[in-house]
Amino acid sequence: MIFKNKTFIRKLSTNKNAWKSVVGLEVHAQIKSISKLFSGASTKFSAPVNTNVCLFDSGIPGTLPVLNKRCVEAAVLTALTLNCRVNPVSYFDRKHYFYADLPLGYQITQQRAPIANDGCLEFQVYTPSVHKQPYSKSVRIKQLQLEQDSGKSLHDTDRSLVDLNRAGVGLMELVFEPDLKDGEEAAALIKELVAILQRIDTCSCKMEEGALRVDANVSIHKESEPLGTRTEIKNIGSVRGVAGAVAYEIQRQIKLKESNKPVINETRAWDASTKTTISMRDKEVLQDYRYMPETNLPPIQIAIGPVRCGSLDADELRKTIPELPEQTRQRLRNEQSLSLEQSIILVNDASLLKVFEDTVLENQINSKMVANFLINEVNTLLNKKEMDSTDIIGKSKYIGEILTLLEKEDINRNTAKLLLEEILLGSTRSPVQIVKEKELLQINDNEKLEKLCRDVLEECEKAVRDYRAGKTKAFKALLGVIVSKTEGRANMKKCTNILKKLLDK
């Protein structure tokens, strides 16, 4: 299904008469704070059920919310980083709806006057299987608002249980304008957002823990026609899930339209196991949340620019913004001479980027060589062993040793892969020690290599005759014999040149 979707996206972008897809995202990011938005209860993940709960979180009458300053600071810092207009005054509202994991019967959010509006985020889109060349994309941010998270319902065959540990955890809801065209752009946006929020430390972005959840609004239309009926895909929990859900939904809507069937305005869920979206409920009847001002919380006042009234100074917070992902990509290209593609891949993986920078800093090695080794060899091995890039944190010294040996031609690439595997699997010996103990040094001596090549030619007379008769595959067979005889330690670049000279005599 994924490959079909990718082909489908390419057709959408090249055929003027084809359907055009429009995608907008809403992101709920849990704020990285010790306590909840309106109570002192802990936000620690994986605590025993219903232990991170204060009286206010469980909706006990007479309890009042107390605003967490850290959550406001995190929201303002995020808004500034995303080029939003921070509002000097913002308000809280009550959003009423009944659900078992919402004890108050309403959610405290910001509907009328959010903490920030009108932002803009530029990011890079690079998915070789869909978009051959990387390109820049810009998306507008309608608003950023503070709100409290709900609890979690656990359903069994004969009963439903409620865990309120998550109830009241501070959220930043980011509403993006529908400026995207496909699932890969949506996934690239989430990758960039994750990188930014982790840099400024306002959200852990651990999607597997529910710290970042994505809703996608998808519609299709033909050029010069009004936008079509949209569907909403709720609570997508991974970056690849975002790409897959949006791509599938676009294709599903196309099939409906081309079969003269209507697209229903509904909420759908993404099923990662079947890679399909599933209908949850229709949205034809507009739900009335009965918004009203939150009477127990005063307005948030923020000092920004000429407006100096407020307990929080946005201009001081702006000074704490670190180097952002796009600035890092530019620095890698300008200072380390990396390609745009290399810089995108490294910046998209914080662990890989750290190892790259540590390795280059600690060793006098060509930075392009380091980047290629990390992107190709390290990533391939991590995938093969089902490991995460965090597993290589702290191993930059060893990776530097491997690359130094490789650069000096003391070892070849196959040996480098072997050493890398030993290190990733927890070996405490350095690559230099492993090379000495296992006698893995590359054979570089010209006289030894020439003698080796002559011996191989004498042993493989048929392959020599075949090569001289025009069968070029015979040459590879000769090289294979050399690899076998030396257990992969011969300098194959030199052997190739020596063999050619000997065969051409």
Amino acid in the structure at residue 63: T
- pLDDT for 30 equals 98
56 and 113 within one domain: yes
Q: Are strands 276-282 and 292-293 parallel, antiparallel or unpaired?
A: unpaired
* C-alpha span between 367 and 229 (Å, rounded): 49
Q: What is the pLDDT of residue 16?
A: 52
Terminal C-alpha separation, the chain: 56
> Can you spell out the DSSP letters for 463-488?
HHHHHHTT-THHHHHHHHHHHHHTTT
pLDDT at site 132: 78
What span, in angstroms and rounded, lies between the C-alpha atoms of 17 and 7? 16
Nearest alpha-carbon partner for 378 in 407, 356, 405 = 356
Q: Are residues 377 and 495 in the same domain?
A: no
| Residue where a domain terminates, one of 437, 454, 478 | 437
Strand 19-30 relative to strand 170-176: parallel, antiparallel, unpaired? Answer: antiparallel
Residue 158 lies in a domain: yes
- Which residue type occupies 420? L
- Could you list the pLDDT tens digit for every one of the 505 residues in the chain? 333 444 444 444 445 568 999 999 999 999 999 999 999 999 999 999 999 999 999 999 999 999 999 999 999 999 999 999 999 999 999 999 888 888 999 999 998 999 999 999 999 999 887 877 899 999 999 999 999 999 998 888 888 899 999 999 999 999 999 999 999 999 999 999 999 999 999 999 999 999 999 999 999 999 888 999 999 999 999 999 999 999 999 999 999 999 999 999 999 999 999 999 999 887 666 677 899 999 999 999 999 988 888 889 999 999 999 999 999 999 999 999 999 999 999 999 999 999 999 999 888 889 999 999 999 999 999 999 888 888 888 889 999 999 999 988 899 888 999 999 999 888 889 999 999 988 889 999 999 999 999 999 999 989 988 888 888 888 999 999 998 888 888 998 899 999 999 988 7
Q: Is residue 2 part of a domain?
A: no
Residue 248: inside a domain: no
Asked if the structure places residue 15 within a domain, the reply is: no
Of the residues 236, 270, 303, the one at which a domain ends: 303
Residue 229, in any domain of the structure: no
C-alpha span between 344 and 313 (Å, rounded): 33
Q: Is 437 strand, coil or helix?
A: helix
The verdict on 406 and 340 lying in the same domain is yes
Q: Do 459 and 387 sit in the same domain of this protein?
A: no
Is 11 inside a domain boundary?
A: no
Assess whether 118 and 96 both reside in one domain: yes
Residue 459 and residue 428 share a domain: no
pLDDT at 284: 63
Same domain assignment for residues 426 and 451? no
pLDDT at 6: 47
Smallest Cα–Cα separation from 78: which of 168, 171, 169? 171
Rounded alpha-carbon distances, angstroms, from residue 451 to 66, 199, 448, 461, 480: 82, 57, 5, 16, 16
Q: State the Cα–Cα distance between residues 501 and 505, nearest whole angstrom.
A: 7
Which residue is associated with the tokens 């659900």?
A: 99
3-state secondary structure of 408: coil
Same domain assignment for residues 370 and 494: no
Place of tokens 């490959």: 3
Residues 6+ apart with CB under 8 A from 426: none
Range of the domain at 491: 446-503
> 194 and 87 share a domain?
yes
Q: Within its chain, how far is the Cα of 482 from the centroid?
A: 43
Q: Phi and psi of 240, rounded to 5°?
A: -70, -30
Give the total number of structural domains in the chain.
Answer: 3
Specify the DSSP class assigned to residue 311: S
> Do 417 and 454 belong together in one domain?
no
Q: Is 4 part of any domain?
A: no
Same domain? For 382 and 424 the reply is: yes
Same domain, 467 and 429: no
In-domain check, residue 46: yes
Report phi then psi at 229, rounded to 5. Answer: -65, 135
Comparing CA positions, the residue from 97, 201, 79 lying closest to residue 141 is: 79
* Contact of 384 with 399, CB cutoff 8 Å: no
Q: Do residues 35 and 77 make contact, with C-beta atoms less than 8 angstroms apart?
A: no
Answer whether 442's CB lies under 8 Å from 415's CB: yes
Cα dihedral 439→445→451→455 (10° resolution): 40
Q: d(Cα 228, Cα 455) in Å, to the nearest integer?
A: 73
For residues 454 and 461, what is the distance between their CA atoms, to the nearest angstrom?
Answer: 11
In this structure, is the dihedral angle defined by the CA atoms of residues 389, 394, 398 and 400, taken in order, positive or negative? positive
In sequence order, which residues have a C-beta less than 8 Å from that of residue 340 and are 6 or more positions away? 124, 126, 134, 329, 333
